[in-house]
Amino acid sequence: METPTPKSTNLVLILDFGSQYTHLITRRIRKLSIFSLCISGTSSLKTITDLNPKVIILSGGPHSVHSEDAPTFPQGFIEYVESNGIFVLGICYGLQLIVQKLGGVVDIGEKQEYGRMEIEVLKESGLYKSGGVGSKQSVWMSHGDEAVKLPEGFSVVAKSQQGSVAAIENPKRKFYGLQYHPEVTHSPEGMVTLSNFLLNVCGIVPEWKMEDVLEEEIKVIRQVVADDDHVICALSGGVDSTVAATLVHRAIGDRLHCVFVDNGLLRFKEQERVMQLFEKDLHLPVTCVDAVEKFLGELKGVVDPEKKRKIIGKEFITVFDEFATKLEKEIGKKPAFLVQGTLYPDVIESCPPPGSGRSHSHTIKSHHNVGGLPKDMKLKLIEPLKLLFKDEVRELGKILNVPEGFLKRHPFPGPGLAVRVLGDVTEGNALEILRQVDEIFIESIKEAGLYDSIWQAFAVFLPIRSVGVQGDQRTHSHVVALRAVTSQDGMTADCFRVSGPDFFASAKSSTDILFNPPSSEFSELIEEYGNKMTDISKRIMAIVLNCLGDGFVKKYYEPEFSNCHGYLRIINYSPPEVVKETEEIEGLGMHTDMSCITIVYQDQIGGLQAWSNGRLRSSEHRVILKRPVNRLSLAFFWCFEDDKVISAPDEIVGEGKPRLYKPFVCLDYLKFRQSSEIGKFEKVGFTAKDFAVKLSCAT
């Protein structure tokens, strides 16, 4: 069964030309209660016309419009949108495509614009209704080409600080363009601009609600599934299949038959937890099938994760076909459909054919619900969540009264632990080790109060061994990696910094490293000290901004520094075994800290020497041991978040003065520091200037 496209007179259709941000456009628009759908930018004109959109957005992309293989919309597209009164918005590459195809000129820009830039609104426009002429805003740009001559009838709405075109429009022909990415968080007012365009310019009424999605899906399922048809639902124990099962059960009642397959690749005590949820909380009968030997037998000797996915997908269908045959004998009719909890990101990751949204991307993985299905499958598919993102599925689950605690569970892949064991899953006791480590990891995160802040956390069994000490004995055993990431929709993810905002607050769970027996009093002091240092850091930054200029606190504190986080590090500098009483020993060589503010509490006065101190510059410093004893210090670092883009405001740079550093992302700088300082940190310090030089060389 094809997942229906909602019949909406307000559909916003996004043509994807390969931008890494395209999925964000879809999500941002849905947040406005407007349904949006993403398809390939090279889809046929018939595909587009069948969807009957009110608005079409042309996404950004990595290509130049001058490239031989540059993707473009289908022939007849311009005539179609103009004859049907469809609004068109081009973003970045999309703007350049509009300009080129309508008779303007796009050329290689004299000044390529990457990162955070400031634009100024030049004329009245529905795009910037709230700001007006002369208003300025910070945006995120990423382009090398630029529009140097606009098509007839178009006008420049906004320009960048470097004088290039930032926004264009032709209200009469209903074409608009933005030479920046309003969908990313680094364009703070981007959502306002998108809202202005869709609500004010296009006149769309925000009427798309998850309740409507539920009603539409139930209606379609009842239309497709005949009154005497029976349906099998494959339960994995995850949020997606659970919500899908609950939805279909509401549509067809007891004609839904849920089956849970124990394939030997499940989490710790997963089977009993899932059975309890469905039978006691959701009141849905579930049949549990033991297929451990079947799955592990097929996976024996298989190392390639892609092959594992294909095998698992095939075996699942085999099990479901067998279950369907058995069920047929009981009910006197063979089940016709199979329900799966496939999501929109699953389809995108599996790189479907043109018309499904990511034809310019390489396959990320074959999803077990998509690329892993055999062509001769006897059951027809029902995928009621196929157009939804993860957070939307959770919202739908709330409406369906799925327990909130279950909806917050971290995602677990259908192939299970098979893809978290890097190697043969049947070798030794890899699966059992991984289950236990994963359970300990998850429970530790919950105890620390971090579980809900992490989108997904899990352990990975690595195909290597390492030496260690257990008790008084040397060991040579397996290595397991721990991973924790944050995400909104499963499309992009950032590493979760365990030493981030809650590091000192969760110190109670790690004092055994410092004390034997653990000291709860010390944990409480650490927590209080960390909170005090955070308050002091905020005050210091407000004072610094106030010294830089009038109004800087109001203008820059909230957008630039409100998401900074602090973490503590207890440092023990040890001297060499042989050292004279009066000799100065370098405990740590010249370096600069990566944090915004560093506050050091130390047990010796004068041990930290600052070698230079400039205006708003990280001080280069070293650590000196003045006597042959260990020196302890408690360092508090107040840092930007990983995805923060650092770019000096124009007021700081000064009119007519050169910008010393290109805009850069904090996590990139952190990785640069980590890779550059291996074996050198004790003697050589690296600064943001070194990183900026590297950036310049790279471009």
591 assigned to active site: no
Q: What is the pLDDT of residues 444-503, one digit of tens each?
A: 888 877 888 888 999 999 988 887 766 667 778 888 999 988 876 665 677 776 544 434
Place of tokens 């006149």: 203
pLDDT at 110: 65
Quote the CA–CA distance of 88 and 169 in Å, as a whole number. Answer: 10
The mean per-residue pLDDT over the stretch 106-130 comes to: 79
524 assigned to active site: no
Residues making up the annotated binding site for ATP are: 236-242
Q: Higher-confidence residue: 516 or 448?
A: 448
239 lies in some domain: yes
The mean per-residue pLDDT over the stretch 302-316 comes to: 91
pLDDT at 633: 62
- How would you classify the pairing of strands 136-149 and 105-121? antiparallel
**pLDDT at 176 > cutoff 50:** yes
**pLDDT at 149 > cutoff 80:** yes
421 neighbors 434 (Cβ within 8 angstroms): yes
Which of 211, 147, 593 is closest to 608 using CA atoms?
593
Is there a single domain that holds both residue 555 and residue 527? yes
For the full predicted model, state whether its pTM sits above 0.85: no
CATH classification at residue 242: 3.40.50.620
Quote the CA–CA distance of 323 and 329 in Å, as a whole number. Answer: 10
- How would you classify the pairing of strands 473-486 and 456-470? antiparallel
DSSP single-letter state for residue 198: I
Q: Higher-confidence residue: 424 or 20?
A: 424
Is there a single domain that holds both residue 470 and residue 514? no
State residue 544 phi and psi, 5-degree precision.
-60, -45
Residue 164's pLDDT band (cuts 50, 70, 90) = confident
166 neighbors 178 (Cβ within 8 angstroms): yes
- Secondary structure element (H or E) that encloses residue 194, with its range: helix 190-195
238 lies in some domain: yes
pLDDT at 675: 62
Of 23, 63, 143, 181, the catalytic one is: 181
**Number of domains the chain contains:** 5
Is there a single domain that holds both residue 578 and residue 447? no
Is there a single domain that holds both residue 625 and residue 650? no
1 lies in some domain: no
CATH classification at residue 463: 3.30.300.10
pLDDT at 674: 60
pLDDT at 133: 60
Residues making up the annotated binding site are: 236-242
5 lies in some domain: no
The mean per-residue pLDDT over the stretch 25-34 comes to: 89
pLDDT at 503: 45
pLDDT at 686: 39
Q: What is the pLDDT of residues 319-363, one digit of tens each?
A: 888 888 899 999 998 888 989 888 877 765 554 433 333 344 433
- For residue 605, count other CB atoms closer than 10 A to its CB: 7
565 assigned to active site: no
Of 23, 38, 63, 92, the catalytic one is: 92
**pLDDT at 57 > cutoff 90:** yes
pLDDT at 3: 45
The CA angle 253-254-259, to the nearest 5 degrees, is: 115
The rounded mean pLDDT for the chain is: 78
CATH classification at residue 142: 3.40.50.880
The mean per-residue pLDDT over the stretch 79-105 comes to: 94
Is there a single domain that holds both residue 404 and residue 270? yes
- The 3-state DSSP composition of the chain as helix, strand, coil percent (nearest 5) reads 35, 25, 40
Residue 75's pLDDT band (cuts 50, 70, 90) = very high
Is there a single domain that holds both residue 652 and residue 530? no
**pLDDT at 598 > cutoff 80:** no
111 lies in some domain: yes
Is there a single domain that holds both residue 397 and residue 442? no
Is there a single domain that holds both residue 630 and residue 670? no
171 lies in some domain: yes
Report the range out of 177-186, 254-263, 587-596, 675-684 with the highest average pLDDT. 254-263
- The residue from 499, 523, 540 where one domain ends is 499
Is there a single domain that holds both residue 495 and residue 505? no
164 neighbors 111 (Cβ within 8 angstroms): yes
Is there a single domain that holds both residue 403 and residue 486? no
7 lies in some domain: no
pLDDT at 169: 95
Is there a single domain that holds both residue 454 and residue 548? no
Q: What is the pLDDT of residues 221-277, one digit of tens each?
A: 999 999 999 999 988 878 898 999 999 999 999 999 999 999 999 999 999 888 888
Q: What is the pLDDT of residues 377-433, one digit of tens each?
A: 577 889 999 888 888 999 999 999 998 888 888 888 888 999 999 999 998 899 999
169 lies in some domain: yes
**pLDDT at 435 > cutoff 70:** yes
Is there a single domain that holds both residue 79 and residue 169? yes
409 neighbors 239 (Cβ within 8 angstroms): yes
The mean per-residue pLDDT over the stretch 147-169 comes to: 90
Range of the domain at 556: 500-607+619-640
Of 113, 146, 169, 183, the catalytic one is: 183
